[in-house]
Structure 1
Amino acid sequence: MSKSTSTSDGSRNKRSNAQLPPDWNYEATVAKVEALIRQIEAGKLDLAEVFNEFNSAVEYLRQCETFLQERQQQMNLLIETLEDDSKD
């Protein structure tokens, strides 16, 4: 089950407890989302398929969000390290 948490800017995010696979790639995942959106917008899918594809797209977007949040935390840590080093 995912949790809804508040971020430092006050927005609410759902966090997934799942780790990204080692071979996961941000750009490839975004391309998958774009392909799914094109399929949905084409209007040639059965309603059940639309829901399945939409569900897949949402999961891919959650993975992207997790990836970006992790990288933002890493960047913030690096910036803090640089700021601490400049004070010395």
Structure 2
Amino acid sequence: MIKNLLKIWKADVVCLQETSLEGEIANYVKEIWGSRWADHVQMEASGTRGGIVIMWDKKSWEGVVSSVGKYSVSCSLSGLNCDLN
């Protein structure tokens, strides 16, 4: 469902909350994004609660992770094809 919505929306950046995901999720991100051009940062869930994933298209954005806290994720995205930072 998420993969289909990303295609419809033509999204470059997506944030998912309450993911309930733990551990390495790189393969999951690539599966959702539908290409190898996805990068991400995550705050792992605690059991069945919480979890945040920010995903972006590496062809359009360069991401730098600022911090991953107990309740938040901060990252800076710089546009590669435009003058948006």
- The TM-score range, normalised by the shorter chain, is under 0.3
Q: Which one has the bigger helix percentage?
A: 1
Q: Which one has the bigger strand percentage?
A: 2
- Which entry has the higher C-alpha Rg, 1 or 2? 1
TM-score by length of 2: 0.23
